[in-house]
Amino acid sequence: MPVIETTGARFSIQMVSAVSAKGSFQFMTFEGRMNGERFIEFLKRLIYKQSKPIYLILDEHPFHKSKKVTNFVEPTKGKLRRFIFPPYSPHLNPDEWVCNW
């Protein structure tokens, strides 16, 4: 049987995603930790070429409510609207099941 050599080094990749009410799925992968800047990058990708408002249903993670994200969302004048779930309610969020294998 052939031997597969590896370095033994671990790596990871992160993902942020959104699922629409009609079932379309958008995601972004990245290395490192999620933060407000990365979330804003994802939001920019979500609103790109969108003519209708986007309703974001989010959990209470601190970067979802951060000042940076708020300062990005407010000037969109309703193009992005945030709705925050109550504390620990993954059963209400269908996006929680995307990578929950």
pLDDT tens per residue, range 38-91: 999 999 999 998 889 999 988 888 889 899 999 999 999 899 999 887 776 666
Q: Is residue 55 in a domain?
A: yes
What does the alpha-carbon distance between residue 65 and residue 72 come to, in Å, rounded to a whole number? Answer: 11
Q: Is residue 2 in a domain?
A: no
Predicted TM-score (pTM) of the model is 0.74
Contact 48, 57 (CB under 8 A): no
Counted domains in the chain:
1
Q: Is residue 74 in a domain?
A: yes
Here the CATH number for the domain that contains residue 33 is 3.30.420.10
Structural domain containing residue 41: 14-97
Contact 85, 92 (CB under 8 A): yes
Cβ neighbour number for residue 18 with a 10 Å cutoff? 19
Q: Is residue 8 in a domain?
A: no
Arithmetic mean of pLDDT, 19-25: 83
92 has a pLDDT exceeding 70: no
